[in-house]
Amino acid sequence: MDAKIQKLKEWVDGSDNIVFFGGAGVSTESGIPDFRSVDGLYNQHYKYPPETILSHSFYLQETEEFYRFYRDKML
C-alpha cells in the first residue's frame, strides 16, 4: 500500500469523528441532485428558498411548509 494511503488509513482508524467536505460532483455521482441544475432545488417552485425552508426558525414558524418540502425533497 502506498505510504500516503497507509497514513490516511491510520488517521481514519484512529479517529472518532470524520468530516468530509464535498461538492456537487460528489453528491450528483451519488444520485443526490445539485442545487443549480435545471432540476436542482433552486429551480423548483417553492415560496421560499431551500436554505430558508431548512432552517430551525422556518420550521418553528412555517411547520406545514417545512414538512411539505421535507417530504417532497428530503425523503
4-58 pLDDT tens trace: 999 999 999 999 999 988 877 777 787 777 777 777 777 777 888 888 998 999 9
User: CA-to-CA distance for 19 and 38, rounded, in angstroms?
Assistant: 29
Q: How far is CA 66 from the centre of its chain?
A: 16
Nearest to 36 by CA among 48, 24, 47: 24
Q: Please tell me the pTM assigned to this model.
A: 0.51
Cell matching residue 33: 441532485
